[in-house]
Amino acid sequence: MLNQFFHDPLSLGVAQAIVATVMALVVMLIAHFARIHLEREILIALARAFVQVLAVGSVLLLIFEGPVVVGFLILGLMMLLAAQTASRRAQGMPQAFRVSLTGIVLGAGPVIVLMAWMGVIDTKLTVLIPVGSMIVANSMTTTSLALDRFRGEISSHVGHIDAALALGATPKAAVAPYTRAAVRASLIPRIDSLSSLGIVWIPGVMTGMLLAGSQPIDAALYQFVVMAMIFTVSGLASLISASLMSARVFSPAEQLVLRTGKGKR
């Protein structure tokens, strides 16, 4: 309908963005009447998302013809910002930024490089940056979930961890069940996405390729590749970040120092 009123792509895009924003604001209002007060967070998130995605669009416009190294530099920058976002969810945990960054870089980095080297991801910046960013974003989400869940598990099991330490367990053994629970919980959305792929949802890459006129089978295969990559990266990022954090919640004398809930001393 909008394309009857707006004929150039830019005006149409702005009109679509306004409609989408209005819909989000309606949800915010409904939440407000249900006394779920997320107004500030939603408004900031919408404004940030709008400015950020436009900024990226403008940067991509400028660099799409640049050398491949520019793509990797941009992905590196995205990893830094992703680590900062993930570490905000892990507030109060020791060295949260460093742990998040290590998880994201060691999770996403090798997979992006390997896939680019094998030709699975085209090194043209028009492909490398959007696909790479999807991978980085997913590793960020998984890292956030893993660290947040790990903190929750520790907080609920302070007594059990102390009991294990008091029985002569190493810190790693004392928190092993909670590290595993954090990794498992962080990967549930990825596993659900994989198992419902094509049945419950047709994600962005495939949609984009179909809109751009690709053959459905080609689009489907490529989407599977992307989803499998995302799972690999998420698994690596989650395992690395939870494992690194599990060593950091203890003092050199093997005492639990992260006491956020019951049992805090």
For other proteins, the binding residues (CB under 8 A) are 159-160, 162-170, 173, 177, 251, 253-256, 265
Residue placing its CB nearer to other proteins in the complex, 72 or 178: 178
Residue 197, strand partner residues? 201
In the bound complex, what is the minimum distance in angstroms from residue 252's beta carbon to other proteins? 9
CA angle 103, 104, 105 (to 5 degrees): 95
In the bound complex, what is the minimum distance in angstroms from residue 102's beta carbon to other proteins? 26
In the bound complex, what is the minimum distance in angstroms from residue 250's beta carbon to other proteins? 10
Residue placing its CB nearer to other proteins in the complex, 34 or 167: 167
Residue placing its CB nearer to other proteins in the complex, 177 or 189: 177
In the bound complex, what is the minimum distance in angstroms from residue 178's beta carbon to other proteins? 12
DSSP string, the chain: -HHHH--SHHHHHHHHHHHHHHHHHHHHHHHHHTT---HHHHHHHHHHHHHHHHHHHHHHHHHTTS-HHHHHHHHHHHHHHHHHHHHHHTTTSTTHHHHHHHHHHHHHHHHHHHHHHHTSS--SHHHHHHHHHHHHHHHHHHHHHHHHHHHHHHHHTHHHHHHHHHTT--HHHHHHHHHHHHHHHHHHHHHHHHHTBTTTB--HHHHHHHHTT--HHHHHHHHHHHHHHHHHHHHHHHHHHHHHHHHHTB-TTS-B----STT--
In the bound complex, what is the minimum distance in angstroms from residue 96's beta carbon to other proteins? 21
Residue placing its CB nearer to other proteins in the complex, 104 or 256: 256
Residue placing its CB nearer to other proteins in the complex, 208 or 261: 261
Residue placing its CB nearer to other proteins in the complex, 166 or 217: 166
How would you classify residue 19: left for phi > 0, otherwise alpha for psi between -120 and 50, otherwise beta? Answer: alpha
Residue placing its CB nearer to other proteins in the complex, 164 or 240: 164
In the bound complex, what is the minimum distance in angstroms from residue 257's beta carbon to other proteins? 9
In the bound complex, what is the minimum distance in angstroms from residue 170's beta carbon to other proteins? 6
Residue indicated by tokens 């949609």: 207
